[in-house]
């Protein structure tokens, strides 16, 4: 009987220990997770700083009025108030300023960053007033692989418009929806990457372009870019000069534009000649091209001229079909910047570098 009272305190202590164990584990896990989040936030901040420094060496200077990091416990958020980009390598130099930028990455997926930009975006020339102003309902970008070699970039814009500063009324250009996707082909060689491009636009308008008649255009494009030796940022003229020297080509697998009942589909490829001018060829098929001719001639011009142009295009082209409708196929060639529609010269493009 003398040993009985000794067992009760041990049992009570054991029960207290078992009850307190889950709480202790939660505290330990919370501490470990907090340390992991802090280290991940530090890595994200260091990656962003390194990327900004890399861009600065290419003539693109990124700045924030203030930059803060948050999002604990499950994601990492980097907020930039009054972000700006100075394109020092452009001629003339340009500067872009927006209202705010929010970049988000999940702790368990740090190689995928999603960013949202709040407008308006102002575009200025160094030392000059605002030239252009852009605004939107949504501007979102996602980048995968920022910690290493970039793998994919996507940009989505909704309800976007571009206005010339100081002008009111209709925008210079607008669109209901626009998308751009750039993906590095994983099967391509590391030193010779191939880029897959995909772009889409809906409700695109340019009221000032009389040729387009102020009517909305829908379009989509898929293409491949070959001949880019590396993906490091650099000034555009240097990029194009290097691309030309490597025999780079832009292969448009499909380009489709539609305005009302008029539709155009094109495919082909283009590169750059040693002069820096475009050089390539495209096959273009059109349905409803009579509307295009009417817009080219204008409502105040004679019907005979319109009929003559339609007849001339018909003689130059060959029969084709788009969506079950009778269409016309034409060849568009660019030879060292000189543009030809069939045998007809249309003009010459200036060097790009």
Domain extents in the chain: 23-169
Cα 113 from Cα 71, distance rounded (Å): 13
Residue 275 is predicted with a pLDDT of 94
DSSP state of 10: H
pLDDT tens, the chain, 353 aa long: 444 454 556 666 566 666 667 778 888 888 888 888 888 788 777 777 777 787 787 778 889 999 888 888 888 898 999 999 988 766 678 899 999 999 998 877 777 889 999 999 999 987 778 889 999 999 999 988 755 566 889 999 999 999 988 777 778 899 999 999 999 888 887 777 889 999 999 999 988 776 666 789 999 999 999 998 766 666 778 889 999 999 999 999 999 999 888 899 999 999 999 999 999 999 999 888 666 656 555 555 555 555 555 556 666 778 888 988 888 898 999 999 999 987 778 889 999 98
Helix (H, G, I), strand (E, B) or coil at 95: strand
φ/ψ bin of 71: left (φ > 0), alpha (ψ from -120 to 50), beta (otherwise): left
Residue 248 is predicted with a pLDDT of 94
Residue 92 is predicted with a pLDDT of 74
Cα 50 from Cα 20, distance rounded (Å): 45
Q: Residue 188: name the closest of 230, 146, 221, 155 by CA.
A: 230
Residue 166 is predicted with a pLDDT of 75
Query: Exposure string (b/e) for 125-139, b if CB count within 10 Å is 16 or more?
Result: eeeeeeebbbbbeeb
Residue 207 is predicted with a pLDDT of 83
Residue 263 is predicted with a pLDDT of 92
Sole residue written with tokens 């045998």: 343
Helix (H, G, I), strand (E, B) or coil at 225: strand
Helix (H, G, I), strand (E, B) or coil at 342: coil
């Amino acid at each position: 009987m003398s040993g009985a009272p000794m067992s009760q305190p041990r049992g009570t202590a054991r029960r207290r220990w078992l009850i307190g164990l889950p709480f202790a584990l939660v505290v330990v896990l919370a501490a470990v997770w907090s340390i992991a989040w802090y280290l991940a936030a530090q890595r994200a901040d260091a990656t962003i700083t390194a990327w900004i420094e890399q861009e600065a060496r290419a003539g693109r200077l990124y700045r924030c009025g203030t930059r803060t990091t948050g999002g604990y416990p499950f994601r990492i958020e980097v907020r930039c108030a009054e972000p700006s980009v100075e394109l020092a390598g452009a001629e003339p130099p340009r500067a872009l300023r927006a209202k705010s930028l929010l970049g988000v990455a999940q702790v368990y997926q740090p190689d995928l960053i999603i960013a949202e930009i709040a407008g308006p975006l102002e575009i200025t020339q160094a030392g000059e007033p605002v030239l252009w102003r852009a605004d939107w309902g949504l501007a979102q970008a996602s980048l995968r692989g920022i910690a290493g070699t970039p793998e994919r970039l996507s940009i989505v814009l909704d309800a976007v418009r571009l206005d010339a500063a100081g002008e009111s009324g209709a925008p210079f250009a607008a669109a209901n929806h626009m998308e751009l996707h750039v993906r590095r082909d994983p099967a391509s060689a590391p030193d010779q990457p191939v880029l897959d491009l995909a772009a889409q636009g809906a409700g695109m308008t340019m009221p000032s372009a009389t040729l387009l008649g102020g009517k909305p255009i829908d379009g989509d494009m898929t293409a491949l870019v070959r001949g880019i030796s590396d993906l490091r940022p650099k000034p555009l003229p240097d990029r194009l000069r290097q691309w030309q020297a490597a025999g780079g080509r832009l292969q448009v697998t499909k380009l489709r534009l539609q305005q009302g009942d008029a539709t155009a589909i094109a495919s082909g490829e283009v590169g750059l000649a040693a002069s820096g001018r475009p050089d390539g060829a495209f096959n273009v098929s059109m349905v409803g091209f009579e509307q295009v001719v009417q817009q080219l001639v204008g409502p105040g011009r004679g019907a005979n001229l319109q009929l003559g142009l339609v007849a001339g295009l018909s003689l130059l082209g060959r029969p084709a079909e788009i969506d079950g409708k009778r269409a016309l196929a034409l060849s568009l060639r660019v030879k060292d910047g000189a543009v030809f529609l069939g045998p007809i010269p249309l003009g010459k493009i200036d060097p790009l570098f």
